[in-house]
Amino acid sequence: MGKRSIEKERHWREIVARYERIGMKVRAFCDREQIKEHQFFTWRRELRRRDVARTANQNERGRGARSVPAGPAADSHAMIAPAAAFARLHVVTTPPTTPSSIEIIVADGRRVAVAPGFEPEVLAQVLAVVEGRTC
């Protein structure tokens, strides 16, 4: 990366850090700093991409692997999505011993849980009472 690119990156890192410290809405911050919103979003995304690539390269070097560029050249306008995160998955091969219920959320946010095998007429009466209607 050339000297000018390094200075540009440092400049935008300062802007993004200032934004994060202040906690304003992006539009108001950009107006205050006299920068275009699209530039702010582009650079914030690019800096995150560079940080992810740098971390990935450092992790690879730590394992003794060869460092490989993580994306397009620094001056490119192409963006790469950050690396995906993974979660541990536990597969359950046996069905649950109790059948699941149905949960109904009525207009005011109250919830009614209904077990399998319910009688529709009784449910209609319960919902009428919960919603304040007459049966």
Residue position matching structure tokens 């059948």: 99
Report pTM: 0.44
Least confident of 18-22, 59-63, 117-121: 59-63
Q: Do 19 and 37 meet the contact criterion of CB atoms below 8 Å apart?
A: no
Positions of E strands within the chain: 102-105, 111-114
pLDDT digit string (tens) for 33-57? 999 999 999 999 999 988 888 888 7
Q: Do 49 and 71 meet the contact criterion of CB atoms below 8 Å apart?
A: yes
Tell which wins on pLDDT, 69 or 97: 97
Helix (H) or strand (E) holding 37: helix 37-62
Q: Do 79 and 45 meet the contact criterion of CB atoms below 8 Å apart?
A: yes
Sign of the torsion angle spanned by Cα atoms 12, 16, 21, 25 = positive
pLDDT digit string (tens) for 75-134? 444 444 455 556 666 676 666 565 667 777 777 677 778 877 778 888 888 888 877 776
